[in-house]
Amino acid sequence: MRAAALSPGLADPVADAQGCFRAVLDAMSRPGSVRRVPADVRPPAPLVPAAAAVLLTLADAATPVWTDAGPDAAAWLAFHAGCPLATSPEDAAFVLACGSPPSLGVLVQGTDEEPHRSATLIAQVAALEAGSGGWRLRGPGIEAEHRLRVSGLPSDFTARWGANRAAFPRGVDLVLCAGREVAALPRTTAIEEG
């Protein structure tokens, strides 16, 4: 194992996991709102702190993780989260994309009877900005409309997201991470380009 694999995980595993979980729960409950993860974590590149903290909070031996982040980052995640590494995104409970995310349709969708058995996509993006400009979001968790500007996703992402949403109750849920910030879109959220 290289030195990068040994850099520390969550400084206070119990308190940091609780704080990170609440940030993600709040983000998922109010799609388009941006939250800061409270954990001080310094993962190896190209992982950003928010994505690393979310995975250390939610992943474990029961949840295979696939990532395009390269061997150092993958080894760091496997070591600190205790999660198996999936060899392809189709087999993962959590898919961490640092580059262009894999097609949503190939990820685990769940079934009509067990739609909760679906993958969560954690996508690292360049920047997240809530409040004005960018996507117009509607759906559960949103009183009227939330605005979220996301920099760094492929231009056809909203079309792909529309197909994901149309498969409800099956479908993938999305967590967006930039630096220490996190936003989330459950499969119920409708995106309209701003």
Q: Give the separation between CA 149 and CA 190, rounded to whole angstroms.
A: 14
Nearer to other proteins, 72 or 191 (CB): 191
Task: Give the single-character DSSP code of 118.
Answer: B
The first and second tokens of residue 39, run together, are 């954990």
Q: Which of 94, 183, 101, 192 is nearest to 139 (CA)?
A: 192
From the number of C-beta atoms within 10 Å of its C-beta (0-12, 13-18, 19+), residue 62 rates as exposed
Binding mask 74-113 for other proteins (x = CB under 8 A): -------------------------------------xxx
Task: Rule CB under 8 A: choose which of 2, 36, 42, 116 binds other proteins.
Answer: 116
Q: Does 120 bind other proteins (CB under 8 A)?
A: yes
The first and second tokens of residue 130, run together, are 């809530």
Q: At what angle do helices 49-58 and 71-81 cross, to 10 degrees?
A: 40
Question: How many amino acids of this chain bind other proteins (CB under 8 A)?
Answer: 36
Task: Rule CB under 8 A: choose which of 154, 168, 192, 194 binds other proteins.
Answer: 168
Task: Give the single-character DSSP code of 109.
Answer: B
Task: Rule CB under 8 A: choose which of 46, 70, 152, 169 binds other proteins.
Answer: 169
Q: Does 70 bind other proteins (CB under 8 A)?
A: no
Contact residues for other proteins, defined by CB under 8 A: 13-15, 17-19, 21-22, 24-26, 28-30, 57-58, 60, 62-63, 111-113, 115-116, 118, 120, 140-143, 168-169, 173, 186-188
